[in-house]
Amino acid sequence: MQLKQVIIAHKAGDDGSRRVAEQCARQLESRGCHVLMGPSGAKDNPYPVFLASATSPIDLALVLGGDGTALAAARQLATDGIPILAVNVGGHLGFLTEPTELFQPSEQVWDRLLEDRYAVQRRMMLQAMIFEGNRTNLEPASERFLALNEMCVKPASVDRMPTSILEMEVDGEVVDQYQGDGLIVATPTGSTCYTASANGPIMHDGMEAIAVTPICPLSLSSRPIVLPPGSVVSIWPLQDRDLNTKLWMDGVLATSIWPGQRVDVRMADCQAKFIILRENYSYYQTLREKLQWAGARIRYSNNHRN
């Protein structure tokens, strides 16, 4: 990997993340690297400015924060194929980030990157667009929205908790109608996030598949379903008299959905590229540690291994 032009995004409002970002910027600039740095948060999106200001191809995006900061980077940078080194500085759970201790001292990290001593993990993403009317109208009524974790269709209201009534089609065939809090369409990466909270399936992040999970459905027969990656999931809001239905991408509001419109969700034509520094990276170890499964707290001897 070359380090001629690097993006550094730090968690907005976190002083520790900003200090690490400034230190890394000084180190990279001393190596002749051009650095673009700025905060990333709910009200801060530095990536359009980064991409517009780049004078040459961007070699790396260093993202300092938690999973939310990493998700924002993936949505903005996946289309351009920019590799992301996400480090847990000021974050909490850290499913998508490298541990802080592996990033110290950071000077050694730059040497590892220059010597190509790292792995790249490619993660499937979803894309969604809004369409008007029936399937004869092929012109989208919205821009393309990207998500690394999930697309979610659910209502939002400031004064009450509205119920949504949604119809789901897969490849043009009606599968079910859901009455409840909404519907989650997730990637394997997102299966350990909102989907897991809604009792959806956990899928290995090396897979390509789509999980559809209803949120608190009123019918106990409405169950999660796992679909092939080439499937197109279409969601129609029904009886939305208060016009509250929204499309959310990775927990961030994408757009409103009006009566007569549908959301088409499918596998995106781009992937998020995450740099892995851990030499002994294990997906199952991540599950044990981050989800605090029983085996991580209670240990029994297994003499049958010997």
Separation of alpha carbons 130 and 115, rounded Å: 44
Cα end-to-end distance, the chain, whole Å? 43
Residues annotated catalytic, as ranges? 67
Contact of 235 with 180, CB cutoff 8 Å: no
Q: Kind of pairing, strands 5-11 and 60-65? A: parallel
